[in-house]
Structures are given as structure tokens and as C-alpha cells.
Amino acid sequence: MTIVLIAVLAYFVATGLLLRSVPRERPDGSGGWRWLALAAVVLHAGYHAMVAWRTAGGPDLHFYSALSLVALGMAAMTVMVGARGTAAVGVVVFPLAAAMLLIYHGHGHAPSPALDWRLQLHAWLALLAYATLAIAALLATMLWLQERALRRREFHAWLRALPPLTQLETVLFRTIAVGFLLLTLTLLTGVLFVEDFLSQHLVHKTVLSVLSWLVFGGLLLGRWRYGWRGVRAVHWTLTAMALLLLSFFGSKFVLELVLGRP
């Protein structure tokens, strides 16, 4: 519990430092938030490693654990790329990571079936893809808010915390491209390594994941071929992310918490 509390405190203090730096127009380069956030990420990861070491079976990848791991990945990526002008996403990501860690700790840890390296590779690729594309969804939301405020000529203080519109758009599409690659590898390893989709209740998850992959792929193709940007890019990104959330967490919620199946 001590590790969890220290991690949560570090996440919230890092968030406070980011908020405090908004009026200075440089939330990415001052305030010491990065070191606190890095400490929180290390403690968050250490807690999961400690649970995995103490729990029988394979790594805990149940519903609440998966939520916490995705939030951990989002926090880690925010720390790594925050210096490029996207540190503002930490205002959302860090409290989210703290909340997911607390929920996971409070819910308890269930033993998981042992997985061979191929299925573990598939699972970790999936979690990393979800975390990357969740960051993309946050960037898309920031882009929409920024465009909306500029169109209305509403120059709020929080706008100074965001990078220029073109830079934010570039970072968004680079993040989508990385997430799309990870999602492609996730689907590919699923096809190669998962033996029986029907018995494992994976058909609906696969269909929704493929639909999300098609939407993200269509967006990247539209960007490359037709120069798609702005509100259209935001809509496509959020639609694809909604399908992905339904695919993984929606299906896990129904199977594990509603129907009581592993």
C-alpha cells in the first residue's frame, strides 16, 4: 500500500506542477513535473511487478489490471514525449493513472492462467497499442478544443499550454502511425498464436478490433493521399478509439464482471 500511495501522490503533485506552469506558456520545460511523474511511473510498474511475482500463474491481465497497465503505458509515454510540447496531456493522464492504480489495488489480484511467450507477446502488444492510441485520442481532443477556441476567437489561458496547431497535428498523426503499427502486430500475433477464437469468446473482440484497425488505416491513408486534417481527423480518431475500447475493455467487462468468465 505504501508504494501505491507514494505513486499516487507523485502523480497528483506532477499534475499540480503542470497546471501551475500553464500561465508561463512552457509546461513542458519547467516545474520539475517530469521527475515526479517518472518516479510515479517506476513505482506504478514496480507494483505490478511485485503483484506478478507474488501471484500464482501468469501475469495478472484481468479487467482492473489491464486498465491500470494501459494507464501506466500512457503515463510513461507522456513522460517520454512531454518535452516535445505535448506535456499538457499529463493533466489528464497522470490523475487517470493514479485512479486506475488505486482501483486495481483496492479490487484485489486474481491468479491468471499461465501463458506461453507467444500469447504473452500478443497481450503486451495489445496493451501497448491501446495505450498509444489512447494518447492519440487525447491529442485529437486537444486539437479539436484548440481549433474550436481559435475559430471563436476565445484566447483562453490553457491555449498557451498547447503547442502550435500544426505541431500538435503532426504529433497526433505520428502517434496514430505508431499505434496503428502496434495494433497491426497485435492482430497478426492473434491470428498466428490464438488457437480457438470461438471457445475463448474472441469473435466479437476481433471484429471490433479489425473495424478499429480499418478506421485508423483509412485515416492514415486519407492523410497521406488527401491531406486530411482538423475536425475530420478528430472524428475518425475518436471513432476508431471507441471501437477499440468496446473491443477490449467492453468485452472484458462483460465476460469477467458480468458473466464471471475468465
| pLDDT tens digits along 128-147 | 999 999 999 999 998 888 88
For the residues of the chain, what is the DSSP string, one character each? -HHHHHHHHHHHHHHHHHHHHGGGT-TTTSSSHHHHHHHHHHHHHHHHHHHHHHSSBB---SHHHHHHHHHHHHHHHHHHHGGGTTGGGHHHHHHHHHHHHHHHHHH----B----HHHHHHHHHHHHHHHHHHHHHHHHHHHHHHHHHHHTT---GGGGGSPPHHHHHHHHHHHHHHHHHHHHHHHHHHHHH---TTTTT-HHHHHHHHHHHHHHHHHHHHHHHH---HHHHHHHHHHHHHHHHIIIIIHHIIIIIIS---
Per-residue confidence (pLDDT) for residue 262, from 0 to 100: 57
Report, as an integer, the average pLDDT of 160-171. 80
Report the chain's C-alpha Rg in angstroms: 19
Q: How confident is the model at residue 162 (pLDDT cuts 50, 70, 90)?
A: confident
pLDDT digits (tens, 9 = 90+) for 200-223: 556 778 888 899 999 999 999 999
User: Structure pTM?
Assistant: 0.87
pLDDT of residue 156: 65
Mean local confidence (pLDDT), 183-195: 86
Of 153 and 171, the structure prediction assigns the larger pLDDT to: 171
Most confident of 35-49, 181-195, 245-259: 35-49
Length of the chain: 262
Percent of the chain predicted with pLDDT > 90? 40
Comparing 162 with 189, the larger pLDDT belongs to: 189
**pLDDT at site 149:** 80
pLDDT digits (tens, 9 = 90+) for 49-75: 888 887 776 677 788 888 999 999 999
With a cut of 90, say whether residue 33 has pLDDT above it: no
Distance of CA 74 to the CA centre of its chain: 4
Higher pLDDT, 25 or 88: 88
